[in-house]
């Protein structure tokens, strides 16, 4: 396999992006952990409004909250933001935006699930027990400390495409595997400072809450995830991100300047 340094050099020299095209499609990701006793009743109105506005993407509803990623024109997205925020529980929803020249989703979907991000462990509540948030700059400074254990909470294929300097790969196939990784590889590091990250922040909420439930005390996570860090460090030469960031839509991945790319994975 290529080293991260070699892979990063390859990416910088052979980048293929859509940066020269007009990016008039807004792609928004959001989530909120909040008890939703009536989450089933929300499905139809949320889906109908998406379809009415010509939006595409997926929203997941569960008793523990809402999670979604969808895209459309600026006008349609702004109207849907207002629509969501009029719900009594969603008035403070924050939307993390990126942009592209075409919609990366095929259709509008609203799904009902047991969890909005599936860890598979009962009783984990990020509202009360998640780790401490770090801004992009605070994160940038913390992970340069050699005594900090930096953990990528994403899956192996995401890590292979790109990650932060010195990050540990849990080598998971899906997020449900993460507790097993903790039991086997992190339980002897309770005295360490643990810094965790994911794409947009939601997996970090649950993974840090899980660590707190296991007795870890010095647990931190990157607020807004990799996307927020890339936005803060866009065009900066000192970025600690190496490679591409996998995204769960037809773009597949974005580069350090948030442009769509067409990567070739490093081969074993």
Q: Which residues does the annotation mark as catalytic? A: 198
As separate numbers, helices (DSSP H) first and strands (DSSP E) second, the chain gives 9, 14
Q: How far is CA 266 from the centre of its chain?
A: 22
Instruction: Say which residues have a Cβ less than 8 Å from residue 75's Cβ, sequence separation at least 6.
Output: none
Q: Which of 56, 52, 53, 49 is nearest to 106 (CA)?
A: 56
- Separation between Cα atoms, residue 238 and residue 62, nearest integer Å: 39
Burial of 185 (0-12, 13-18, 19+ CB in 10 A): middle
- Separation between Cα atoms, residue 234 and residue 80, nearest integer Å: 27
């Amino acid at each position: 396999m290529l080293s991260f340094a070699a892979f990063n050099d390859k990416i910088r020299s052979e980048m293929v992006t859509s940066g020269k095209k007009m990016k008039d499609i807004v792609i928004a990701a959001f989530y909120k952990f909040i008890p939703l006793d009536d989450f089933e009743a929300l499905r139809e109105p949320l889906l109908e409004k998406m379809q009415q506005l010509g939006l595409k993407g997926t929203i997941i509803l569960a008793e523990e909250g809402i999670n979604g990623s969808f895209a459309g024109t600026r006008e349609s997205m702004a109207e849907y933001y207002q629509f969501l925020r009029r719900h009594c529980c969603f008035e403070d929803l924050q939307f993390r935006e990126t942009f592209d020249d075409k919609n990366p989703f095929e259709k509008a979907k609203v799904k009902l699930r047991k969890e909005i991000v599936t860890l598979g462990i009962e009783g984990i509540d990020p509202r009360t027990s998640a780790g401490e948030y770090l801004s992009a700059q605070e994160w940038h400074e913390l992970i340069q400390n050699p005594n900090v254990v930096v953990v990528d909470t994403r899956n192996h294929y995401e890590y292979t495409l790109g990650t932060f300097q010195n990050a540990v790969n849990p080598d998971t196939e899906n997020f449900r595997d993460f507790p097993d990784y903790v039991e086997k590889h992190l339980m002897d590091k309770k005295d360490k400072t643990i810094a965790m990250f994911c794409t947009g922040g939601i997996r970090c909420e649950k993974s840090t809450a899980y660590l707190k439930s296991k007795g870890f005390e010095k647990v931190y996570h990157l607020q807004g995830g990799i996307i927020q860090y890339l936005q803060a460090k866009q065009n900066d030469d000192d970025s600690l991100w190496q490679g591409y960031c996998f995204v769960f839509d037809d773009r597949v991945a974005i580069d350090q300047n948030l442009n769509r790319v067409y990567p070739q994975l490093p081969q074993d």
